[in-house]
Amino acid sequence: MRMTLSLILAATLAAGAVAAKPALRDVAAVDDGLLAVGIADEIRNKCDKIEARMITALLRLNELKATARSQGYSDDEIEDYVTSKAEKARMRQRGEAYLLANGVTLGDKSSYCKLGKQEIAKGSAIGSLLKAR
């Protein structure tokens, strides 16, 4: 009987370890989706010739939240992730790295416009959140 209880306990612990969720930052669909929204927001704020597709952006954010929920994350876990100062700083670093790697000179409005137009033309995740004026 004691061996049976030990096996049940071991199986339960093993199942719990397998079922552990990764940090939301490690869920690429969510993290990369938020990065695209953040970069699009930065472009539209820096470039007067590009504006946001606000309804599309809100729908995308809702889709990202639904994706996180479908993978077992609670609303509190999602809220903690998106409001975390550390995660915001990490996301800003990723965003700036993307901008720099794609020809943006930070502070140069025309370079944001150029990238925004390229993203729109590609129909990328970023470009789908933007429209030229």
Under DSSP, is residue 103 helix (H, G, I), strand (E, B) or coil? Answer: coil
pLDDT tens, residue by residue, 90-127: 999 999 999 999 999 998 999 999 999 999 999 999 99
pTM of the model: 0.83
> Which DSSP category does 124 fall into?
-
Q: What is the mean pLDDT of residues 65-88?
A: 96
Beta strands of 13-107 (E only): which ranges?
50-52
What is the C-alpha to C-alpha distance for residues 127 and 117, in angstroms, rounded to an integer? 8
Label the pairing between strands 130-132 and 50-52. Answer: antiparallel
SS3 content of the chain, % helix, strand, coil (to 5): 75, 5, 20
Element housing 90 (H / E): helix 85-101
